[in-house]
Structure 1
Amino acid sequence: MTWQSEFWSWMSPPSVQTAETPGVGQQAPSTPKISIPAQDGQPTIVSFLRHCGCPFAEKTFLNLREIAPAHPNMHFIAVSHSDQESTDRWLASLPEPSKNTQPNMQIVVDAEREAYAAWGLGTSSFWHVLGSIPGVSKLKEDGINVRSTESGSRWQTAGNFGVDGQGIVKWSRKDQGADDMPDFKEGVDKVLGGKSA
């Protein structure tokens, strides 16, 4: 990490054409990096993360990683817009990195932000980012701190979606602020029609 990479993370990223965020009942987008519906017909939870190094991205990923083993008949996809090398280093720095590899969990790197754009996730406002600063202190109580930002943009929005085996969105949650944390149990319940344990 250098001061230059931290500096560039505050710059607005290149503009991409952003689609509408898919709502409940709509067909989920399928992109070269995220194939929806899954070939095996199983439902999928997709989590588009903020940049690697962001404490809210870390908390979101750890929560996703925690719920995945309880639902072996679902797919869980975490999407990073930091580059591959930065994403790999970030994952290795997390607590218990061996848990990052699970049979039903996939980590996709989308540095060009094409999948983000296809799912309606563009750049955020000034307050979307800076309004989240008080939330950082709450995460510190959980042992999560701000880590180095090697690549990615602080202005990229995040979002979380649940899709059934036919590719229909059952849970659509575009984060309203950088500190807006998803409830993956809610997402699983929506996808499974309230049948989760």
Structure 2
Amino acid sequence: MITTIIFDLGAVLIDWNPHYMYRTIFSDEEEMKNFLATITTSDWNEEQDAGRPLAEGTEILVKQFPEHEENIRAFYGRWEEMLGNALHDTVELFKELKESGKYKTYALTNWSAETFPVALERFEFLHWFDGIVVSGAEKMRKPAPEFYQLLLDRHNVKAEEALFIDDNYRNILAAEKLGIQSIHFTGADVLREKLSELNIL
């Protein structure tokens, strides 16, 4: 029986996208996409999500690509401009789950400890969770199994009683290997259908 719902945050409950900020810098869309794909890459950003200080990560890239220094420094210097709105349809689902009183709810997120306070201040619904485990604060991130296990142990959650929701299929596979039932998030409507099929909503 499911007693606990574990949410990812980015692209599930919160819209975060570097394009929002970098479109104010680049006039050419393809040039912007190339910069994000080859310089400020997802792999590089995930190192900060895993606890590397933002300043250190920035300096590493500036040394590698000095010709792009200004645009590299903008990544964290103007990070708040990448943070979009709440994904309201999913937040509404979260609210329904919370108000049902049937489930404990937690967040397991790959997020820098230095930028997460911005989200905490901006999004009231983050305070509805029974607990949030932030990768940057723990110095580990999804899909590492020990990161999932940390949440389970800290909050006394049994893997077989948890349901995990994430937009990244890599993270879904890692959760399932630990015996955590999971839903690959592709949109709020599909999530609602799957929760209904499981008699959770």
TM-score tier by shorter-chain length is 0.3 to 0.5
Greater relative contact order (Cα < 8 A, sep 6+): 1
- TM (normalized to structure 1)? 0.36
Using the size of structure 2 for normalisation, the TM-score is 0.35
Q: Which has the larger radius of gyration?
A: 2
